[in-house]
Amino acid sequence: MANLMPKRRLENIGLGITGFCVALVALVVITLIFMVAQQGLTTFFVDGLNPIDFFFGQNWIPEQERYGALPMIVGSFAVTLLSTLFALPIAIGSAIFVVEVAPSFGRRVFQPFIELLVGIPSVVYGVLGLYVVNTFVKAIFGDAAPTGAGILSGSIVLAIMILPTITTLSMDALRAVPNQYREGSYALGCTRWQTVWHVVLKSALPSLMTAVILGMTRAFGETLAVQMVIGGVERSMPMGLLDPASTLTAALTAGLSNAVSGSVYYHALWSLGLILLVMSLVFIMIIHLIGRKGAKANG
């Protein structure tokens, strides 16, 4: 009996230490959410900005005290959706190739290759985008895109940046499909493509959707790279894909250094941060929903 006590104490110590770590992380996250919400809501509750004017106002002109966030909200969603649209077929296509067609090539060559893209810092993507993508867009569209900066350029750069995220997660998703499914399909005389299309992709669908959402999360939150290529025009609504625009993150980076803490402008910027925070929570919820649905579908 006496021998058991220290063991139990040891167990409690272990529980205490590890539990503390988890609690610490949770505490920091809660503090973050609380602080961003507090600062972001000050705009409406203390400074008295009308939330409707804020979310649907089409002009962000701080020097005239006009804070309409719609141009940035539209910009953020536009680049996110467009970049996902660009990256998706390429990512899923390469994932299928390296999992279904050439697995050993995939593991030995392709995976390290695509992981290189993850390693490139976003500042470097920004510099590349500025010198290469914008020049390219300008050359193609001429006067319609005088600087080349705009939603299209931002989306292209983002597409390259989220490509590795979606690709590696899709590869994992496809690899997780049990081999019996494939064997069953081949045994029925299906071709490889039929197997991929009707069996593998279908059963991996929830995980693939998760991959896509995670890619979108990254695109939505990407900051410096997109800021360097999108043009940064916040004052009114973008009219087309070649029009320079701004995103929530770009507006924050540009504005945060000019705003004095405590001013309406400063709080309005935190409100933009709050939108970003809420959006990432929404993305997580979507992933949970997909996961739950997938679990149900697979029994």
Partner 1 sequence: MASENSRALSLDEHVRRINSQDKVATGVLTVIVGLVMLLVVAIIAYILVRGAGRALTPGFLTNPYNDEAVPGIIYQLWDSFYMLIVTLVISVPISLGAAIFLVEYAPDNWVTSAAKTAIETLSSLPSIVVGMFGSLFFVVTLGWGISILAGACALTMFNIPILVRTIQQALEDVPRSQRDAALAMGLTRWETTINVLLPAAMPAIVTGIVLSAGRVFGEAAALIFTAGSAPARLNFASVNFLSPTNPFNIFRPACSLAVYIWRLTSEPTAGSTEIVWGTATVLLACVLLFNLLARLLGKLLSRRLTAE
Partner 2 sequence: MSKFDLSRRQFIGALGATAAIAGLAACGNTGNTGTDTPSDSTEGTDTAALVGSISCSGATSFQPLVEKARDAFQDANPDVSVAISGGGSGQGLSQVAEGSVQIGRSDVFAEEKLEADQLEGLVDNQVCIVGMGPIVNAGVDVTDLTTDQLKGIFLGQITDWSEVGGTAGAIQVIQREAGSGTRATFEAAVLGGEVAPDSFRPVAEVDSSGTVVEQVAATAGSISYVAFNYMENDGIKALTVDGVEPTQENVESGDFMIWAYEHMYTREDEDESTAAVTKAFIEFMLSDDFAATVVEEGFIPMADMQVKKDADGNITAA
Binding partner of 39, given partner 2, partner 1, none, CB within 5-8 angstroms per partner class: partner 1
Residue type, 65: E
Q: Is 196 in the site for partner 1 (CB under 8 A)?
A: yes
- Our CB check for partner 2 shows the closer of 117 and 130 to be 130
DSSP H helical ranges for the chain: 4-45, 51-56, 70-96, 103-105, 111-119, 122-128, 134-141, 151-175, 179-187, 192-194, 201-221, 224-230, 248-256, 264-297
Q: Is 283 in the site for partner 1 (CB under 8 A)?
A: yes
Q: Is 36 in the site for partner 1 (CB under 8 A)?
A: yes
Question: CA-CA distance, 189 to 194, in Å (whole number)?
Answer: 10
Q: Is 277 in the site for partner 1 (CB under 8 A)?
A: yes
Size of the site for partner 2 (CB under 8 A): 45
Q: Which of residues 139-168 bind partner 1 (CB under 8 A)?
A: 160, 163, 167
Please write down the long-range contacts of 112-120, taking CB distance under 8 Å and 24 or more positions apart.
114/163, 114/164, 114/167, 114/168, 115/164, 115/168, 117/160, 117/161, 117/163, 117/164, 118/164, 118/165, 118/168
Q: Is 176 in the site for partner 1 (CB under 8 A)?
A: no
Binding partner of 188, given partner 2, partner 1, none, CB within 5-8 angstroms per partner class: none
Q: Is 135 in the site for partner 2 (CB under 8 A)?
A: yes
The single-letter DSSP state of residue 260 is: P
Return the structure tokens found at 52: 């409707």
Interface pattern 32-71 for partner 2 (x via CB under 8 A): --------------------------xxxxxxx-------
Q: What is the contact surface with partner 2 in residues (CB under 8 A)? A: 20, 24, 27-28, 31, 58-64, 130, 134-135, 138, 143, 146-149, 227-228, 231-236, 243-244, 246, 253-263, 265-266
